[in-house]
Amino acid sequence: MHDLNFVEVRINYLPQVVAATAHAGVLILDDVHKPDYLYQVLKKLKQEPVAVYNLKPVTLDSFNRFALAVLKD
């Protein structure tokens, strides 16, 4: 679960968090309802050996927040 500090900090640490995720591991990214954050996350994840899954159908809350699952290849 990557929910460290403010989203600006999370973006900066995303490559290190992905690198620390085990092979075939699952990483959950919270608060991707924020368009700027989601854009930056998807941009950075394109450079990584991962598959990204939208968890909105199962994580959407009353504040319209939701998460992504990142599966490391």
- Number of domains comprising the chain: 1
pLDDT along the chain (73 residues), means of 10: 83 94 94 94 95 97 96 91
Dihedral sign, Cα of residue 42, residue 2, residue 27, residue 63: negative
**What pLDDT score was predicted for residue 3?**
80
**What pLDDT score was predicted for residue 73?**
85
**What pLDDT score was predicted for residue 4?**
75
Q: Residue 12 falls within a domain, yes or no?
A: yes
**What pLDDT score was predicted for residue 27?**
95
> What residues contact residue 69 under an 8 Å CB cut-off, 6+ apart?
26, 27, 28, 29, 52, 53, 55
Q: Which residues, in sequence order, are bridge partners of residue 52?
A: 70
Could you list the residue range(s) of the whole structural domain that residue 18 is in? Answer: 7-72
Q: What is the pTM of this model?
A: 0.88
Q: Residue 17 falls within a domain, yes or no?
A: yes
